[in-house]
Amino acid sequence: MLSTKYSATRREPRTRAAGEVLLEVSPDGRVIRGLLLDVSPHGFAIRHEHADFVFDQQVRVVYDWGKVPARVVWVGQREGALAAGFRTD
């Protein structure tokens, strides 16, 4: 669970979400699978098994129609698993 301090600094409301998300990680282009936890107008959080995400890391969200740049804004644990938050603007 995120700390109350971090939750209070969010600029946008979050909505719980479910489903798979694919992220292309630089520099090798490896694709990481994650499960959505929540979304906002300019970001999302996922549960994942990739222990190497770091703050401000650039990634690309992979869709059937193309790729969208995103960056890591936090890493930690949620719901007993590795988790990370991303901003897409």
**What is the domain range of residue 55?**
12-87
For residue 37, the model assigns a pLDDT of 94
Is position 57 within any domain?
Answer: yes
10-residue mean pLDDT series, the chain (89 residues)? 50 91 91 95 94 95 95 91 94
CB 23 within 8 A of CB 70: yes
Domain count, the chain: 1
Is position 25 within any domain?
Answer: yes
CB 88 within 8 A of CB 68: yes
Is position 73 within any domain?
Answer: yes
Is position 6 within any domain?
Answer: no
What is the residue-wise DSSP string for 8-42? HT-SS--EE--SEEEEEETTTTEEEEEEEEEEETT
Is position 5 within any domain?
Answer: no
Is position 70 within any domain?
Answer: yes
Is position 7 within any domain?
Answer: no
Provide the CATH number for the domain around residue 46. Answer: 2.40.10.220
CB 89 within 8 A of CB 58: no
Only one residue has tokens 């630089």, namely 26
